[in-house]
């Protein structure tokens, strides 16, 4: 039996499903994680993916995040990513400029506070989410 490079766990919060990914995401496990994440899209107004314990995210993992974002948009759900500002995932999101089109938070508490405070499901009042990520919240079309 192969060793799992990444694990995923889910918790339900008031207005969000929190997915915590721990370990390395690459082509060997990205599709499995994608299937699990897609299965949770729409179960709450927000999907928050906590990547602070994710130590590696290759192009297959980035593609999975992009596909989850697309599915969230299709069903009217919001997506927030939580990343360590000094970590490899933040560097990958910045290098690919995905941090400019995704909502990135620096802590789970920030992500949940924004999701809980978002009464109407829109992102119009969510102006500072990417301020720490070095860019504006370009997704202004929110859930």
Query: What element of type H or E holds 65?
Result: helix 59-75
Output the pLDDT for position 133.
37
Average pLDDT (80-108) is 97
Q: How far is 1 from 48, CA to CA, in rounded Å?
A: 30
Q: Give this prediction's pTM.
A: 0.82
DSSP 2: P
Output the pLDDT for position 3.
67
Average pLDDT over the chain, rounded to an integer: 86
DSSP string, 97-119: TGGGTSEEESSHHHHHHHHHH-T
Average pLDDT (86-93) is 96
Output the pLDDT for position 2.
63
Average pLDDT (59-81) is 98
**Better-predicted residue by pLDDT, 107 or 118:** 107
Output the pLDDT for position 4.
76
Q: Are strands 16-25 and 46-57 parallel, antiparallel or unpaired?
A: parallel
Asked whether residue 74 carries a pLDDT value surpassing 70, the answer given is yes
The token pair that represents 140 in the structure block: 């202004």
């Amino acid at each position: 039996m192969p060793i799992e490079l990444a694990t995923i766990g889910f918790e339900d919060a008031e207005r969000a499903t929190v997915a915590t990914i721990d370990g390395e995401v690459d082509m060997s496990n990205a599709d499995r994680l994608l299937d699990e994440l897609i299965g949770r899209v729409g179960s709450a107004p927000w999907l928050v993916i906590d990547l602070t314990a994710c130590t590696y995210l290759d192009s297959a993992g980035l593609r999975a995040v992009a596909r989850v974002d697309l599915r969230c948009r299709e069903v009217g759900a919001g997506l927030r990513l939580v990343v360590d500002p000094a970590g490899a995932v933040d560097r990958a999101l910045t290098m690919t400029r995905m941090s400019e089109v995704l909502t990135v938070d620096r802590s789970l508490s920030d992500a949940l506070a924004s999701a809980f405070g978002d009464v109407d499901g829109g992102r119009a009042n969510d102006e500072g989410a990417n301020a720490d990520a070095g860019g504006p919240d370009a997704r202004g079309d929110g859930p």
